[in-house]
Amino acid sequence: MFGRRADGYLVKNMDPVVSLTPYLMPMRCDAQVMMSYKLEYEKLARYMAEKGREGYRVTFMEIFIAAYVRAISQMPEVNRFIMNKRFYARKDILCSFAVLQNTADNSVKENVAKCAFDPHDTIFDVAARIKAAIDETRKADADNTTLKLANLLKNPLIANIIVMLARILDRYGLLPRAIIDASPFHTGLFFGNNASIGLPPVYHHIYNFGTTSLFVVIGNVERKVELDSTGAPVRKRILPAGVTADERVCAGMVYSKFMTLFQHLINNPHELETPPEQVYFDEGHVISLPPAKKSKSRFRSRLGRVMKKNRKAS
């Protein structure tokens, strides 16, 4: 109410043209901009193999999310959202993603995980947070707040009433923090890995419910033939990605710089192994910091103890 929200700070210094966009495009679906990116699969695969030889497993999803976290630390304006035609700076760096649960009868059951990140996180910190969230969510008996809320809304009558009430409360900043934390739609980035289920990338819509500002989906690896500098044909493998963004969140130039940096970091993940030299905050509002996770050095130390123990046993 009156510009106060549990998950965001009201942005006060707005570009007049940008501040007008929610009145011209009231809903998030009005302002969806879709982009496609083709990334070098071989470069990313070599990086993951290199980390694997060091005893550390890194996935495509972790590279993408680590690049997002780092890009947000440099351009926090992209971490804004719009509610009730007002602009808010998000209090956290958040990412949601679907996770397939392990079931006793091998049936398909989905759950959703949502992670908070520190703007100083390296790719190893990001990977540790994601792995912990996935491990917890994949358990057959996992019953996180998101799943509890979904089970509560199985009754159509209850679902209609609660969702309508949630929309009204969210619009005026009165939605309790507990519900915001449980909702996967109140996030900065929603990430989808279609490659894990054998599908191509899609340009996923951004939900009108919640505060999602960016949706990224990667798909099956593509093979193509290109000509090199000498004119000789070269076979390449490409990792395609579909990006959908809420264009109202910030000026187009800011988005352009953000996506350029985002793509650069994905193609050069070594740069994500050290913390950023400097972190920037939107209008001075400091990001809420999640609990620290195990770093690469701690992981290596634990791995070394296990290997030493195995050698003694043999």
Q: Of residues 59 and 305, which shows the higher confidence score?
A: 59
Range of the domain at 53: 8-313
What's the token pair of residue 28? Answer: 């998030």
What value does the mean pLDDT of the chain take?
A: 86
Is residue 217 domain-resident? Answer: yes
Task: Give pLDDT, residue 149.
Answer: 66
pTM reported for the whole predicted model: 0.86
Note whether residue 1 is domain-resident.
no
Mean pLDDT on 217-246: 90
**Is residue 146 situated within a structural domain?**
yes
Asked if residue 276 belongs to a domain, the reply is yes
CA-to-CA distance for 97 and 189, rounded, in angstroms?
9
Q: Is residue 188 part of a domain?
A: yes
pLDDT at 306: 36
Domain count for the chain, please give it: 1
Q: CATH number for the domain including 193?
A: 3.30.559.10
Question: 233-246 and 222-227: which strand pairing?
Answer: antiparallel
* Of residues 191 and 100, more confidently modeled: 191
231 three-class SS: coil
Q: 154 or 231, which is more confident?
A: 231
* Residue 174, CB-side half-sphere exposure with 13 Å CA sphere: 9
The verdict on residue 3 lying in a domain is no
Residue 74: the pLDDT is 96
Q: Which pLDDT belongs to residue 309?
A: 41
Read off the DSSP letter of residue 162: H
Confidence of residue 299 (pLDDT cuts 50, 70, 90): very low
Q: Supply the pLDDT for residue 142.
A: 54
Q: Is residue 2 part of a domain?
A: no
Chain segment 172-199, per-residue pLDDT in tens:
999 999 889 889 999 999 999 998 888 8
Q: Per-residue pLDDT tens for 13-71?
A: 988 999 999 999 999 999 999 999 999 999 999 999 999 999 889 999 999 999 999 99
Q: What percent of the chain has pLDDT over 90?
A: 62
Answer whether residue 304 shows pLDDT above 70: no
> Does a structural domain hold residue 164?
yes
* pLDDT score for 269: 95
